[in-house]
Amino acid sequence: MPIRFALLVIASILFSTLLVACGGEKSGGSTSGDPDRGEALYHQTTIGPNAAPGCATCHSLEPGKTLVGPSHAGIATKAASVVPGKSAEDYLRESIVTPDAHVTEGFTSGVMYQNYGKDLTEQEINDLVAFLMTLK
């Protein structure tokens, strides 16, 4: 009986570990980002190991104010309807990772830094998306 109990305990621990390992990163429109960390990252002058320009270097949070790229005022609301069938979170993530996938009308492709997807960690991208989702 003690061996059976020990095996049950070991099996339970292994199963729990497997569940935690498989559930670490969310996808399909859900992020585990922290909007406060994302906001801090957004406002940094440079981000990532290659000192890429921070978001606020090129994007304003004021409606109608264009710096280099489009204003991010209300971006969460806009992002929900840019690509039919794509969630706002997925659109924002794609815009960070693959900036030329959907270029806003009136702006030129290739201007936005192209390597945020390589330079930033998944957590940093999640944090940025979580912050951008607060901008309704």
Tokens of 39: 């906001």
The fold of the 34-132 domain, in CATH, is Cytochrome Bc1 Complex; Chain D, domain 2 (1.10.760)
- Is residue 102 within 8 A of residue 94, CB to CB? The reply is yes
HSE-up of residue 10 (Cα within 13 Å, Cβ side)? 6
For residue 52, what are the β-bridge partners? 47
Average pLDDT along the chain: 85
- The pLDDT of residue 11 is 41
pTM: 0.77
Cα 10 to Cα 6, 20, 24: the distances in Å are: 6, 15, 21
Each residue's pLDDT tens digit, 35-57? 999 999 999 999 999 999 999 99
Each residue's pLDDT tens digit, 52-102? 999 999 999 999 999 999 999 999 999 999 999 999 999 999 999 999 999
**Confidence band, pLDDT 50/70/90 cuts, at residue 2:** low
- Is residue 72 within 8 A of residue 59, CB to CB? The reply is yes
Segment 17-30 shows an average pLDDT of 40
Segment 102-122 shows an average pLDDT of 97
Rounded-to-integer distance, Cα 8 and Cα 44, Å: 50
Rounded-to-integer distance, Cα 7 and Cα 44, Å: 51
Residue 30: how many other CB atoms lie within 10 Å: 13
Residue 125 has pLDDT above 50, yes or no: yes
